[in-house]
Amino acid sequence: MKFYSTNNPDHKVDLAEAIFRGLPADKGLYMPERVDRLPQQFFDDLPAMSFAEIGFQISKHLLGDDVPETELKALVYEAINFPAPVVKLDEQRYVLELFHGPSLAFKDFGARFMSRLMGHFNKENKRELVILVATSGDTGGAVAAGFYQTPGIEVVILYPKGKVSLLQEKQLTTLGHNIHALEIDGTFDDCQAIVKQAFLDEDLRKQIRLSSANSINISRLIPQSFYYFEAYKQLGAGAPVAFCIPSGNFGNLTAGLLAMKMGLPVRQFIAATNGNDVVPEYLTTGTYRPRPSVATLSNAMDVGSPSNFARMLNLHGHVDGKDLRTSLAHAEMSKVVSGYAYGDAVTEDAVREVKAKFDYVIDPHGAVGYLALNDWQRQHPGTRGVILETAHPSKFKPDVERILGQSIEVPERLAELEFREKVSTEMGVDFQPVRKWLLERYT
């Protein structure tokens, strides 16, 4: 399989280059050359498949023979070794729990798959590989856990100072070994801008082998499609399902669109955002206005310029990356994606409502999804909807306990981080000091 740039369909590379480079030089994002429908046999066999087998079949379908089949199966089965259960709230509303991995967030799926895929291609390379990643909360913890002590790979995580929860920060800053944290005195967008500058700095890349672990990396995106099929399998036969996705950088929703292109029956995608409502605004008006992010209760979604929006446009007929206002892409995307945005006060109300009605503790991001699904279903009665619960509520323990007025259980693997010493390097929002730090450490 070849991968092309969203800014230039004629620029094509193989899988190894796509995952190690992260970003094409033309500032686009890599996409698979083809996203064909899965064979009917896959859907016939789906009810009896394990989650890992679903992931393997999709990987083989998308990647072709880029990785020998036996090795691909081994790495997928090793990466996808925890469940993604669907929990029923009522006949119309379900929750897909994506927090049963090591870092208690959905990004474990992508990080673990990517680390093993990179390890496969990195085996023969003697030069150290530096993974550079920006996080608004959960990506960093998942990447840190996924790549921890991986031979030949160093990880540098940029996160916004004071804008991630305490336990999220401890996941980034307490592992040591090959995991390093840069605390940026700005927003997630500032972190993401620095990472993008690094990848477009050809002189820096000549001196350091850089790659990315954000959802801008195609190998992070592919495994996020697995659990849409897993959820559909668990729900059993019936009408196509609406998936409601709490959204920040929009990698999760983009992965859902890939799943639909591969034949998954989807009634609708619902993009649920907080005050950072760039994409819902676009879906309503046709105007895309990226802007500085604002801090909210659902911090992992505090993204004002979502990178994966370029892929969303690309999947709806926008192939050259030059005009984000194209009416064709807007018309096509609006048919399958609906957008909603909510403030912190109603988000808190939703956390309380879900606990009172269903005795289920939902995190603030999932609560935004609950609100959006409710609003969409009022206009589409009788439909089934699945909310993606992207992180364990204990990762936001102070806020959730304050909202509910009760203590919540923290899984042991997260609770023990609270007492570990934080180690990070403070930086401003400029690229040059980060560039200097990288050069001093890795050359």
pLDDT at 286 over 60: yes
Least confident of 96-100, 301-305, 365-369: 301-305
Q: Could you tell me the two tokens for 102? A: 């090591």
Least confident of 45-59, 77-91, 146-160, 243-257: 146-160
| Tens-place pLDDT, residues 325-357 | 567 888 899 999 999 999 999 999 999 999 999
pLDDT at 97 over 70: yes
CB atoms closer than 10 angstroms to residue 412: 7
Nearest to 308 by CA among 271, 335, 342: 271
Report the amino acid identity of residue 279: V
Q: Could you tell me the two tokens for 110? A: 């992508």
Q: Residues 192, 197, 203, CA angle at the centre, nearest 5°?
A: 150
Average pLDDT over every residue of 67-89: 96
Beta strands in 353-392 (DSSP E): 385-389
Query: What's the pLDDT at 306?
Result: 92
Is 358 within 8 Å of 291 (Cβ atoms)? Answer: no
Is 368 within 8 Å of 347 (Cβ atoms)? Answer: yes
Mean pLDDT of the chain: 92
Query: What's the pLDDT at 324?
Result: 52
Contacts of 407 (CB under 8 A, 6+ apart): 401
| CA atoms of 113 and 138, how far apart (whole Å) | 16
| Tens-place pLDDT, residues 151-190 | 889 999 999 999 888 888 998 899 999 999 999 999 988 9
Is 112 within 8 Å of 146 (Cβ atoms)? Answer: yes
| CA atoms of 174 and 194, how far apart (whole Å) | 23
Query: What's the pLDDT at 26?
Result: 86
- Domains belonging to the chain, first-starting first, are 83-103+221-404 (3.40.50.1100)
Q: What percentage of the chain carries pLDDT values higher than 70?
A: 97
Q: Could you tell me the two tokens for 410? A: 């923290």
Average pLDDT over every residue of 102-107: 89
